[in-house]
Amino acid sequence: MRKNRLAVVGALAAVLVAVTGPAAVAHDEPPTLADLAQRHGRYFGSATDNPELTDAPYVSLLGSEFDQITPGNGMKWYATEPQQGVFDFSQGDEIVDLARANHQKVRGHTLVWHSQLPDWLTGREWTAGELRVVLKKHIQTEVRHYRGKVFAWDVVNEAFNEDGTYRDTIFYRTLGPGYIADALRWAHQADPRVKLYPNDYNIESIGPKSDAYYRLAKELRAQGVPLHGIGLQAHLALQYGYPATLEDNLRRFSRLGLETALTEVDIRMYLPADEEKLATQAEWYGDLTEACLAVRRCVGITLWDYTDKYSWIPAFFEGEGAALPWDEELRPKPAYYAIRDALK
């Protein structure tokens, strides 16, 4: 009897393998975050940076778990136009090539930003006329170079202050608020197919800063300026609380016909991390994933790198870290499992 039953089970298993193929029976390969996100029509990505690409285990996970990549620094102005009119796309290209090899799409980051600018640009005064020429050339040369290779651009990064007024940058000061519309138009001319986003932090909640983007988006739309989405960086911190209005906020942009994306997600905490903090962090990762899935046109989520090993947080926020879903040894943390659950 026992033998018979075993035989039946064996035969059934054989039939299963024959019908569904070996992959369906193998339990050692769980679906990746990218696989799970794709079932919802979303991407799940990570930032990366050129120096890390010598780390083979890191690169292997980067290539398998995600279907979207953002270069953390390689496409910024200081890297791409280190001298006026002299362009260097080698770092961005390295990341684009890697992404292509892994069938991943690339978000371009970023064309116009007050930070990480080359010295030749910040070290002198410009008239409005001069700076317009410089800005247009920078945008169009870079966008043209990556035409067909990036699916979206963070055209203007961090343009507003916390209170919703325009940030006082070299571009705003010299050109006035119209520089944003101009940047979008110039980028669109250089690649009519690429999706164009402004991108900023602390705009996850409804409030003065996200209101500024809402108003800007409406205005630009009304004026026929090419604009396709709003990037919410989502650099969160446990001590500031979860942005409870995130989902409503995403929804109001969606109602304008705009895409949204969570573009630079990390959730930092004061160190040392402990079980409780990691549990809260996990909950937040799950919640923000659910918020994106709940809103039409929230197209995807990008971690600002996926492992604590290469996070920018410890260098920029004293005493803080442990912000990502994989730890410094590339082991998944509770946050990773929370994201998986949210995507299931």
Q: Is 73 in the site for ligand XIL (CB under 6 A)?
A: yes
Q: Is 312 in the site for ligand XIL (CB under 6 A)?
A: yes
- Interactions with ligand XIL, residue window 225-244 (CB under 6 A): 233
**Which residue is catalytic, options 142, 204, 247, 264?**
264
Closest CB 296 distance from ligand XIL, rounded Å: 25
Whether 158 sits among the annotated catalytic residues: the reply is: yes
First to last CA, the chain: 40
Question: Toward ligand XIL, which CB reaches closer, 58 or 126?
Answer: 58
Closest CB 235 distance from ligand XIL, rounded Å: 6
Closest CB 143 distance from ligand XIL, rounded Å: 18
CA dihedral of 330, 292, 105, 80, whole degrees rounded to 10: -80
Q: Is 72 in the site for ligand XIL (CB under 6 A)?
A: yes
Question: Toward ligand XIL, which CB reaches closer, 324 or 342?
Answer: 324
- Interactions with ligand XIL, residue window 19-48 (CB under 6 A): none
Question: Toward ligand XIL, which CB reaches closer, 243 or 334?
Answer: 243
- HEC sequence for the chain: CHHHHHHHHHHHHHHHHHHHCHHHHCCCCCCCHHHHHHCCCCEEEEEECHHHHHCHHHHHHHHHHCCEEEECCCCCHHHHCCECCECCCHHHHHHHHHHHHCCCEEEEEEEECCCCCCHHHHCCCCCHHHHHHHHHHHHHHHHHHCCCCCCEEEEEECCECCCCCECCCHHHHHHCCCHHHHHHHHHHHHCCCCEEEEEECCCCCCCHHHHHHHHHHHHHHHCCCCCCEEEECCEEEHHHCCCCCHHHHHHHHHHCCCEEEEEEEEEEEECCCCHHHHHHHHHHHHHHHHHHHHCCCEEEEEECCCEHHHCCHHHHCCCEECCCCECCCCCECHHHHHHHHHHC
Whether 264 sits among the annotated catalytic residues: the reply is: yes
Closest CB 187 distance from ligand XIL, rounded Å: 17
Closest CB 148 distance from ligand XIL, rounded Å: 23
Closest CB 57 distance from ligand XIL, rounded Å: 20
Question: Toward ligand XIL, which CB reaches closer, 157 or 260?
Answer: 157
Question: Toward ligand XIL, which CB reaches closer, 72 or 118?
Answer: 72
Q: Is 157 in the site for ligand XIL (CB under 6 A)?
A: yes
Question: Toward ligand XIL, which CB reaches closer, 73 or 80?
Answer: 73
With CB under 6 A as the contact rule, the residue among 264, 278, 335, 342 that binds ligand XIL is: 264
**Which residue is catalytic, options 158, 204, 247, 259?**
158
List interacting residues with ligand XIL (CB under 6 A).
72-73, 157, 233, 264, 312
Known catalytic residues are 158, 264
